[in-house]
Structure 1
Amino acid sequence: MRLGLAANQLHHAHANAALFRWLHACEAGIRELELGLHAVGRTYDAIHRAGYLERYLPLRRYPYGREGGLMKLVAEVVGLGPDRVLDGAIYLIDPVDPSSIFPEAIALKRQCVIHGKPFISTVATARDWIEMERIHAGFAPDVGADLFYDLGQQTLALIAHDAMKPQMLAYAAEHFDVLSRFAHRVGTGTTGQRLNELAWSRGWPADQAWVERYQSGPMGGDAQIADLVLERRCQRVIFFEDPHVARQHEADIQLLERAVTTRTEDAVCMTSPKVAARWAAAVTLRSGG
């Protein structure tokens, strides 16, 4: 596997920055997986200076962002032939860094979503993804990742745009037992109602909501869930986005995404049904059934 790798300046500006906390926690897993990391210039240079991934040949340097490094990652997520294709991207975002809303940054996420590849924007998501892939590769669980699998202490947000609601319902039906392990589930208006109806049809007590419903997205539900994330009362967001449709409440959607990246150590976000299904399978494997 090969992932693009970039981090805004805040996340590699000092010895305890987010990029280095991720590498400290996951370098062994990266090496076990022989994960290819195609890092844009400043991110690569920071890793080299900090002494991580020394003599690790799958770490490759790309040009600086201003020289087109991030643009090249976007093209390789789409695919430029068998030797130039990425399986996803890690982009550790500082939500107040203007470069995080440059066209190439937005396009990187959009193309990952379109092609069903992981777009990883927080340290928590990056740690969670490494453990997920380790489990699928047959490695023993990393106790350092146990906190991401303690679902009984977590709240899960389930959100889907209109065109993606059927996929969310299908996903919830297939992985109902795993999703039911969470202490609490929240969702926006219509999606939440449909998920409750699904749960009741599966035998969930009819007098209990499987998902606590907030407002619809256009009426502010994304903002309400963003507040839960900011208060560390929601640890995981599964957000099936439709990248092809302009939305009147785009600002609310971006607000939720900014809340997730603000809580980079705590919030895990998945935007691809394929990745979310792979994570659910890893939960089952890791717990032994």
Structure 2
Amino acid sequence: MKDASPTLRFGLAANRLHHETYGAALFKWLEQSAAGIRELGIELYTVGRTYDAIDRSGLLAGHAGLIRYPFGRAGGLMKLVARVTEGRDGVRPFDGAIYLIDPVDPSSIFPEALALKRQCITHGRPFVSTLMGAIEWVEVERLSQGLATDRALDPIFDFSSQTLALIAHDALKDQMVAYAAKHFDLLSRFEARVGTGTTSGRLNELAWSRGWPKDQPWVRPYLSGPLGGDAQIAELVLEERCQRVIFFEDPHVARQHEADIQLLERAVRVVTDKACCIASPAVADKWAEAVKRR
């Protein structure tokens, strides 16, 4: 008999814009995903006001896995960072973090917010910061545990009308090529793919070696990141011409074009219900394996 899967544990927070009024992103997520959260028994370690908003909504009423953490100003986000990094009291670390970010809220660039993202990437855990990403990730977890596909989410997974951005920092370009080789058929289902600089060139060489027509780029190339490629793709995202970004970020090096990287991530969060971003090889691989089960 197969052993039961361990309980999934996620840190959860949302900026004020996303929980202040009913109809905000937090509630739209729960309307779509509450059934999956209950089905999986996910524990949500939820920062102060975000917890209060969920409690008032009744969308997770009776769910024992909704656990209150302190307000952000009292260290709630800091506690999420610590628990993503390492477990405590014999309990393993969090499996990731869902932080619905308002890109113009100053708290989204506080040290604890940036550290939460960085530690998720460092430890290969999902850092989900948009409504589309949060809805999708609950389905990824369901599919990873062998549960039936939620057909109501088919539009999110209709890649034939979506564009995917594939980007990797220097130390992770080999991993991006290996990832694309492993999941080539899946990634080829997208209507189009775009990428920056050297990464797009290497991915096109891979595609041509796999039989892709040599007169057609598999990935439409843009400038390198430092020369403005991230900004070019950010514009595509804002215009809703790019719905997904897989960006293998190296969290261990200083980056002279950090502002451009943040610009791209901010663009994804502006169109929160229409775009999402995956930032590490481990998370991207789990996403791809789950999606193949659909």
Q: How many residues align?
A: 286
Counterpart in 2 of 1:164? 172
Counterpart in 2 of 1:69? 76
Counterpart in 2 of 1:47? 54
Residues 11 and 94 in structure 2, CA contact (< 8 A), matched pair in contact too: yes
Q: Flag structure 1 segments of 5+ consecutive residues without an equivalent.
A: none
Counterpart in 2 of 1:217? 225
Counterpart in 2 of 1:185? 193
Counterpart in 1 of 2:210? 202
* Distance in 2 between residues matched to 1:183 and 1:85, nearest whole Å: 37
Aligned 1:250-261 pairs, distance under 5 A: 250-261=258-269
User: After TM superposition, which residue ranges in structure 1, 4 or more long, deviate above 6 angstroms?
Assistant: none
Residues 1:229 and 2:250 aligned together: no
Counterpart in 2 of 1:60? 67
Q: Secondary structure at the match of 1:218?
A: helix
Residues 132 and 275 in structure 2, CA contact (< 8 A), matched pair in contact too: yes
* Distance in 2 between residues matched to 1:270 and 1:78, nearest whole Å: 18
Aligned 1:102-117 pairs, distance under 5 A: 102-117=110-125
Q: Flag structure 2 segments of 5+ consecutive residues without an equivalent.
A: 1-7
* Distance in 2 between residues matched to 1:184 and 1:13, nearest whole Å: 36
* Distance in 1 between residues matched to 2:13 and 2:179, nearest whole Å: 30
Counterpart in 2 of 1:25? 32
- Which amino acid counterpart does residue 190 of structure 1 have in structure 2? T
Pick from 129, 135, 139: which aligns with 1:121?
A: 129
TM-score (ref. length: structure 1): 0.97
Pick from 11, 26, 34: which aligns with 2:18?
A: 11
Shift in Å at residue 133 of structure 1? 1.1
Aligned 1:238-257 pairs, distance under 5 A: 238-257=246-265
**CA-to-partner distance for each residue in 1:90-121, whole Å, 9 max, x for gaps?**
00000000000000000000000000000000
* Distance in 1 between residues matched to 2:262 and 2:178, nearest whole Å: 25
Residues 1:80 and 2:87 aligned together: yes
RMSD between aligned residues: 0.8
Counterpart in 1 of 2:103? 95
* Distance in 1 between residues matched to 2:92 and 2:104, nearest whole Å: 31
Counterpart in 1 of 2:147? 139
Range that drifts further, 123-132 or 141-150: 141-150
* Distance in 2 between residues matched to 1:152 and 1:56, nearest whole Å: 36
TM-score (ref. length: structure 2): 0.96
Residues 87 and 94 in structure 2, CA contact (< 8 A), matched pair in contact too: no
- Which amino acid counterpart does residue 122 of structure 1 have in structure 2? T
